Structure 1
Amino acid sequence: MADPVLVGDIGGTNVRFAVARQGFAGKPVVSDVSVMPGDDFDAFDDALSAYLDQLGKGAPREALIALAGPVSKGRVQLTNRDWMVDTARLQEKCGLASVRLVNDYAAMARAIPELPEGAFRLIHEGEPDSSSRQPILVSGPGTGLGMATLIPVGTAGWRVLTGEGGHAAFAPATPREWALAEKLRESHVYVSRELVLSGSGFDAVHKALCDIDGTPWEKTPPGEVLERANEGDPICRDICEIKARGTLYALGDAALTNGTKGGVVITGGVAEQLADWLAAPGAIDRFLQRGPMSDYMQPIPIRILMSGEAALIGAAALQFDEVTVP
């Protein structure tokens, strides 16, 4: 059995840490979970040191950290936070024997087979082929828009293919969305899916829609926008519909491109808040309606992940996947 490992899930908003162990049948089990606002720390090293101090002498000697940014040569520049994370520096400063960095969506995707059905909300049942294991797309809007594909290996294993699909260009599908994209281009050189659909672009989208309608813009928390949308406020409803429908449109493109017949899992804090909007028929149709390939899309099930600890479990699974049992 593998030694315990320190795991982390580092996004644009929060920093999550836990200690992971192998449980029954090798399933990862996490404990000592800590969630801290990233704004509380000047650098990631400080956040990790604070968590190690909490654990004291019993802290694991190895760590696998999942971060919201591309990994290159043991370093990650976070996409939505001004942190540079370096494995060599972490080992030296924090006294760890080894540190491994992975993209946060590698961990998020790897978690999916480890989670119970209760961790998901099914919004499109589809008709998956139960006779074989098929690739699964894992993506969704949080602070950013991550994306990964879970590929079956052998009879039980999994391999994760990560990418930066969230930074592909936003594809408008209605006159309102075209107007939004054009307005955003006045202040942004490139209008990506992440800008329109994720939390990082929330204010920009809200302000653009207000400008289009000639309405004064006031900075408004996302939760309040959601409440106003449910009460019928036109601009707030547009924000929720554009984000939900645009997310399903983007995920439909990725599912079609990658052949993820095993299903689509929508993740991220924004997705959890917009769950009812994502489940609406108008959003599901954006995923399904693909002209002559609509029949290809219909059998693909769509679920929303409702577990905040998923990436920690996935990070542990990635670590334990590397362990060779004598």
Structure 2
Amino acid sequence: MISATPDRYSLLADIGGTNTRVALAEGGKLIPASIKRYANAGRPALEPILADYMQTEGVSDLAGACVAAAGPVHDGVAQMTNLSWVIEDHAIARVTKAETVAVLNDLQAQGHALGHLAPGAVRVIDKGAAARPNASQLVVGVGTGFNAAPVHEAPGGRIVAASECGHITLPTVTDEDIRLMRFVEEAHGFAAVEDVLSGRGLERVYAFAAREAGQDSTLPAAQVMEEITARSALGVATARIFTRHLGAVVGDLALVHLPFGGIHLCGGVARAFTPLLHEFGFLEAMRAKGRFAEFLQAFPVAVIEDDYAALSGCAAHLHARAPQL
């Protein structure tokens, strides 16, 4: 338990589709020993989790609070994409008594974390050209869902633009791509990027690979990863399809945002696939853009392996808004 005087600490929360991570920060720095994880299942809203956490940690009057939510944010209100919660800044302020409150999209929080992570928290996939100082960067999250956010260094400070690009149309180039799109449409009526490039998407890709092989087989994502690790026929087919689509989508986003400062993959599925990216042709798929293939070699690619990066990003964002926090 941290015994705190009023207005000393800030509260941080990273809300995913499955779990919520909560922590404290002081002076713009995450306090690792304060991190706790809560299952979202059975909880009606975020506020009871924050109240439980504050009671456990012995804090009751906080200086700031920043929440990162996996869903669109507008005017201080977040609507969770894969969870029936609505996060409102005034409700966070009421629970925490914080004077400064921010609600971010979770990928925005990852973007604010860049430059504030330990060197060992980032694994380089490809060095690309030397990253340009103050150049735009891109964070791409692959986990329960899919999303990305560009990171820009501006005269007034860092700007991390929100997006919901996981719900754009799944790219289709080959005949196999079209069959996958039709397969996804059977369940959803529309094939979005997140329907393939996410935890649930990995399950759909496996089911599609099974159908392509004349089988009817479904597995949860964790068991699909076991099949991939074991190099079963369906596991290899799944990894190949998933990695090729991941590369193609990241390449498209790179051409939109021109992240000469680097592309940073994050999220549980991205971390699970890190050892597989080279084997299954991620970089080749990312750069398969015709005459712009060589151009795409300029962008460094890395994976953020820190599961609490969004919390660090929340702390950095609060500190940038109010340096005393």
Mapping 1:61-210, distance limit 5 Å: 61-93=63-95, 95-130=97-132, 132-154=133-155, 157-210=157-210
In the alignment, structure 1 residue 274 sits paired with structure 2 residue 273: yes
Mapping 1:269-308, distance limit 5 Å: 269-280=268-279, 282-308=281-307
Q: Partners of 2:35 and 2:158 in 1: how far apart?
A: 25
Identity fraction in percent:
28
User: CA shift at 1:40, angstroms?
Assistant: 4.3
The C-alpha deviation readout for 1:84-105, integer Å capped at 9, x for no partner, is 1222233335554453211111
Q: Residue 226 of structure 1 aligns to which amino acid in structure 2?
A: M
Q: Partners of 1:169 and 1:303 in 2: how far apart?
A: 25
User: CA shift at 1:238, angstroms?
Assistant: 2.1
> Would the alpha carbon gap of residues 183 and 284 (structure 1) be closer, same or farther in structure 2, given more than 3 Å must change?
same
- Structure 1 spans left out of the alignment, 5+ residues: none
Q: Partners of 2:238 and 2:23 in 1: how far apart?
A: 35
Q: Partners of 1:121 and 1:67 in 2: how far apart?
A: 25
In the alignment, structure 1 residue 33 sits paired with structure 2 residue 35: yes
The normalised TM-score by structure 2 is 0.90
> Would the alpha carbon gap of residues 94 and 323 (structure 1) be closer, same or farther in structure 2, given more than 3 Å must change?
closer
User: CA shift at 1:68, angstroms?
Assistant: 0.6
Q: Partners of 2:89 and 2:285 in 1: how far apart?
A: 41
Moved more, 8-17 or 236-245: 236-245
Tell me what 1:9 maps to. 14
Q: Residue 311 of structure 2 aligns to which amino acid in structure 1?
A: L
Give 3-state SS (helix, strand or coil) of 2:114's partner: helix
> Would the alpha carbon gap of residues 269 and 14 (structure 1) be closer, same or farther in structure 2, given more than 3 Å must change?
same
Q: Partners of 1:138 and 1:129 in 2: how far apart?
A: 15
The C-alpha deviation readout for 1:188-215, integer Å capped at 9, x for no partner, is 2211111101013343333333334331
Q: Partners of 2:203 and 2:131 in 1: how far apart?
A: 41
Give 3-state SS (helix, strand or coil) of 1:39's partner: coil
The normalised TM-score by structure 1 is 0.90
Give 3-state SS (helix, strand or coil) of 1:250's partner: helix
Give 3-state SS (helix, strand or coil) of 2:52's partner: helix
Q: Partners of 1:140 and 1:12 in 2: how far apart?
A: 13
Tell me what 1:18 maps to. 23
Q: Residue 138 of structure 1 aligns to which amino acid in structure 2?
A: V
Q: Partners of 2:174 and 2:236 in 1: how far apart?
A: 15
User: CA shift at 1:270, angstroms?
Assistant: 0.3
Give 3-state SS (helix, strand or coil) of 1:272's partner: helix
Structure 1 contact 128–263 (Cα < 8 Å) conserved: no
Q: Residue 266 of structure 2 aligns to which amino acid in structure 1?
A: T
Q: May I ask how many residue pairs the two structures share in their alignment?
A: 318
Give 3-state SS (helix, strand or coil) of 1:114's partner: coil
Give 3-state SS (helix, strand or coil) of 1:113's partner: coil
Tell me what 2:4 maps to. none
User: CA shift at 1:263, angstroms?
Assistant: 1.0
Moved more, 57-66 or 140-149: 57-66
Structure 1 contact 62–96 (Cα < 8 Å) conserved: yes
Mapping 1:227-238, distance limit 5 Å: 227-238=226-237
Q: Partners of 1:281 and 1:191 in 2: how far apart?
A: 23
User: CA shift at 1:294, angstroms?
Assistant: 1.7
> Would the alpha carbon gap of residues 33 and 27 (structure 1) be closer, same or farther in structure 2, given more than 3 Å must change?
closer
> Would the alpha carbon gap of residues 21 and 207 (structure 1) be closer, same or farther in structure 2, given more than 3 Å must change?
same
- Structure 2 spans left out of the alignment, 5+ residues: 1-6
